[in-house]
Amino acid sequence: MIHDMIAIIDEYWLLLLIGQYPNGPLGGLANTLILSALSIVIAFPFAILLAFARLSSYRALRWPVTVLVYVTRGVPLLMLVLWSYFLVPLLTGADVPSFLTMLATLVVYQGAFLSEIIRAGIVALGQGQMDAARALGHSWFGAMRYVILPQALYNMIPSMLSTFVATIKDTTLGYVINVPDLTFAASQVNNQLLTQPFQVFLILALTYYVICWSLTALTNVVERRITRRRAGLGPRRRGEIALPLTPKVTEQL
Amino acid sequence: MTAPVSNIGNDQTIRLADVRKSYGDYDVLKGIDATVARGEVVVICGPSGSGKSTLIRTVNRLEEINSGSIFFEGQDVHAPMSGRDLNRLRSRIGFVFQSFNLFPHLSAVDNVAMSPIRVKGVPAAEAREKALKLLDRVGLREKAESYPAQLSGGQQQRVAIARALAMEPPVMLFDEPTSALDPEMVGEVLSVMKSLAAEGMTMMCVTHEMGFARDVADRIWFIDGGQIIETATPEDFFKNPKHPRAQRFLADLRH
Amino acid sequence: MKGFDLAAILGNAEYMAMLAHGIQITFVIAICSWLLAMSLALVLLAIRFSPGRIGNSAVAAYVSYHRNVPTLVQLMLWYFGIYTLLPSGIADWLSAHSAEMVFAIIGLGLCQAAYFSEDLRSGLRSISPGQMEAARALGHGYISAMRYVLIPQGVRNALPALVNHSVSLFKNSSLAIVIGAPELSHAVKEIENLSFRTFEIYLIGTVLYLVFSLIIMAAGAWLTWRADPLNGASR
């Protein structure tokens, strides 16, 4: 059994790593990681804007974002992937690679989740910080830029990392629209071998496990450091109640 | 039932005219008329829930009011104005909070220097140098690189005072600056406030520290039920309070 | 493209029957895997809280695997992998009894058990140690202290997370499309293929998922509210 698996890895490691590249599009594990990283990098500023909109006192800004957040929380990612696959070519009028379709889906999906994390982080800081900044004459955006966000984002680093892990897991759904990622490569291998599906999919599962486990371990280390730092550096007032770390609202998939 | 308005020439820094505020059915401020003259130190006292904190927060518009007006150096604080103008106005009114509200992600010196740099556009080096001077003035020069959580409550509040002073405001508002402090730290904050008063700073202080009121205040406003029901010099107020509720308040304090 | 016309779907008896069947299968998968997950989670939790290194490490490994491998891959491993390793008698029986659904339930249930047990564990761990001490000081034994003092508080603490993960489980039932279980999203795809009314049928599918998720969230919020002693819960 283990012998079979080693033989499969020995034969197909390059396909699993980079897909058909350079004879075809980049795929495999490399594409999975690129897709996840790009999604988070784009989703992040998007999420900050969404969080601002949700905290806004204008109903016209608050409402659409609230609806978006509830839709992403209530509708399976699979449905959203199908929607993108249908809508993105329709809206752009072009033949869009499935990679970009998946990227768009993940940006919206994780953006909405991240925005909830960011919002919770801002709310957890309390009104005092905003009051103090405004009393000194900072504008709302100035207060956000120099006082609120530096603290909120720092406290949220663990949540961001776990969102990254969640995104890696989410990319597997690209399978239904043939995004050439790691899962896709594994199923190609399976189609070529035909006789050893268990071994192939076990390799696939273990690969994801190693990546996500390492990132989760890193997240835990970072989280402990931040908690310690906050315990040492948080406000120490009489009757102060320790603030909980930003709640993790990441989606599990 | 309005308190007598004292007018010390035209030298009014702050003037409140029939200020009213309510939360739903609950009236917090029921028509406040009062002035603060330049260089004057006013101590606002009264039982808890009397509206003192709300009142002082309306002066730099951290709280909105329902009617009336508040003038700061002749400018109506609650008039419709652009966000920019409001920010500029606020930067000229120093405010010290009960809970300090230092920025925990910045060192003491950066807490003091950040707003002059970002709001007033002071060059960073100059702002830092001035921040160090201000920290020196509140006796915390050696704590410049410490973060708020590494400071005691009294030290944090002194940094907060330095932070407010860094904007060079002509007036300072204090909202119960010593109420969140352990008793042994109250003195260090009060002595900074005293030295400010001695230098001629215009100050409005909400506080329960009657010793400070007696020694430093030019006038005391006694607030109860959302109204100023007595204004007096500390001497008159402590020896000879006129209003029965002020008498009861002082009697309770002595117990 | 044809004009927007919901009636083309909603007025078609065949499509509606397909949708109804899809909803039914989605619920069967979601409910069965929820029950499987919750029972397994309690077992995992009991092992976690009992002494014994091996049991503890085994549970930790179980949780770690199921939380770090994408659910979709877990389903694929079950259906495309483990299914083929089964003795032919069992495999034949399964293939005659909708194996897709069985494996969807097993895969989702085993995966979700890891999340549920962690939710309950952190709910229990967030109770201050003083609670156990107080209960023991009053003469409760370990089990009794757990039963009457710790578990009621722990479940209450864990409720919001359990609700969130129940919604996730419901949404994840759609992953069964990949192994061919005829659940709601599968029905949506089939109706799309037959009717070519992509927009309409996606809209219907999305609204259905959203409504069911919102119902679960609302029920969860109500439960959480009820469980708060300040709101006059039981007793």
A/B interface, count of CB pairs below 8 Å: 91
Burial class (CB in 10 A: 0-12, 13-18, 19+), C230: exposed
Residue A87: the pLDDT is 92
Q: Determine contact: C68 vs chain A, CB below 8 A.
A: yes
Q: A233 and B84 in contact by Cβ < 8 A?
A: no
> Is A240 a member of any domain?
no
Q: Is B254 on the interface with A (CB under 8 A)?
A: no
Is B90–A135 a contact, with Cβ atoms under 8 angstroms apart? yes
Q: Does C206 touch chain A (CB under 8 A)?
A: yes
Going along chain B from its start, the domains and CATH numbers come out as: 12-253 (3.40.50.300)
Domain count, chain A: 1
- The mean pLDDT of chain A is 88
The ipTM (two decimal places) reads 0.91
Residue B2 pLDDT more than 60?
Answer: no
B106: confidence class by pLDDT, cuts 50, 70, 90: confident
Distance in Å, alpha carbon of B247 to nearest chain A alpha carbon = 30
Chain C residue numbers with beta carbons less than 8 Å from the beta carbon of A176 are 177-178
Q: Does an interface of 3+ CB pairs under 8 Å exist between A and B?
A: yes
Distance spanning both ends of chain C, measured CA to CA? 61
Size of interface A-C (CB pairs under 8 A): 121
A128–B99 C-beta distance less than 8 A: yes
Q: Hey, are the CB atoms on B91 and A151 less than 8 Å from each other?
A: no
pLDDT band for position C137 (50/70/90)?
Answer: confident
Residue of B nearest to A236 (CA): B149
Residues 6+ apart with CB under 8 A from B6: B34, B35, B37, B219, B231
CA B10 → CA A186, A215, B151, C207, distances in Å?
84, 67, 42, 68
Q: Do C213 and A183 touch (CB under 8 A)?
A: no
Give the residue-averaged pLDDT of C69-82: 95
Q: Please, what is the average pLDDT of chain C?
A: 91
pTM for the full predicted model: 0.81
CB distance A81 to A142 below 8 Å: no
Distance CA C102, CA C109 (A): 10
CA-to-CA distance for A179 and A190, rounded, in angstroms?
Answer: 16
Q: Which of A219, A186, A180, A179 is nearest to A205 (CA)?
A: A186
Q: Beta partners for B26? A: B23
pLDDT tens-place string over residues A172-223? 999 999 999 999 999 999 999 888 999 999 999 999 999 999 999 999 999 8
Q: Is residue A144 part of a domain?
A: yes
B170 preceded by a cis bond (ω within 30 of 0): no
Establish how many alpha carbons lie within 13 A of residue A117's alpha carbon, considering only the half-sphere containing its beta carbon.
28
pLDDT of residue A229: 76
Cβ within 8 Å, pair A208-C68: yes
CB contact under 8 A, C214 and A70: yes
pLDDT > 90? residue B186: yes
Total domain count, chain C: 1
Contact by Cβ (8 Å): C182, C17: no
In this prediction, residue A232 carries a pLDDT of: 60
- Residues from chain C contacting residue A209 (CB–CB below 8 Å): 64-65, 68-69
**CATH code, domain carrying C51:** 1.10.3720.10
Name the residue among B97, B114, B181 with its Cβ closest to that of A128: B97
- Core vs surface per residue B20-29: b (16+ CB within 10 A) or e: ebeeeeebbb
- Tell me which chains share at least 3 CB pairs under 8 Å with chain C: A
- The parent domain of residue C72 ranges over 7-231
Asked, for residue C1, whether it belongs to a domain, the answer is: no
- What's the maximum distance between 2 C-alpha atoms anywhere in chain C? 75
Alpha helical stretches, state H, chain C: 7-10, 13-49, 53-68, 71-76, 83-85, 88-96, 99-125, 129-137, 142-145, 151-172, 184-195, 198-227
How far is C179 from A196, CA to CA, in rounded Å? 17
Give the CATH number of the domain where residue A79 resides: 1.10.3720.10
Rg (C-alpha) for chain A, rounded Å, is 21
Q: How far apart are CA B122 and CA B126, in angstroms?
A: 7
Answer yes or no: is pLDDT of A246 > 80.
no
Task: Evaluate whether residue A69 is within a structural domain.
Answer: yes
Alpha carbons B243 and A238: distance in angstroms, whole number: 34
Give residue A90's domain range.
Answer: 42-174+202-230
Q: Is A88 inside any structural domain?
A: yes
Q: What is the pLDDT of residue C232?
A: 53
Instruction: Please write the tens of the pLDDT for every residue from B131-181.
Output: 999 999 999 999 999 988 889 999 999 999 999 999 999 999 999 999 999
